[in-house]
Amino acid sequence: MNTILHITQNRQWEKSKNLSSYHADSLDTEGFIHSSQATQILKVANKFWLS
């Protein structure tokens, strides 16, 4: 089985745990949730979250 990963902010994740539901901002703005495979996640994090 493959794992699909999604990077989000801690406050969004905590909110989703309380609601038992997660809704990424990109679902509204782009129509889908951005996700990565484990082999891609560090490159994505470095490019979009740590820059």
Q: Supply the pTM of this predicted model.
A: 0.68
**Per-residue pLDDT of the chain in tens (51 residues, 90 and over written 9):** 788 999 988 898 899 998 988 888 888 899 998 899 999 999 988 888 776
Q: What angle do CA 25, 29, 33 make, to 5 degrees?
A: 55
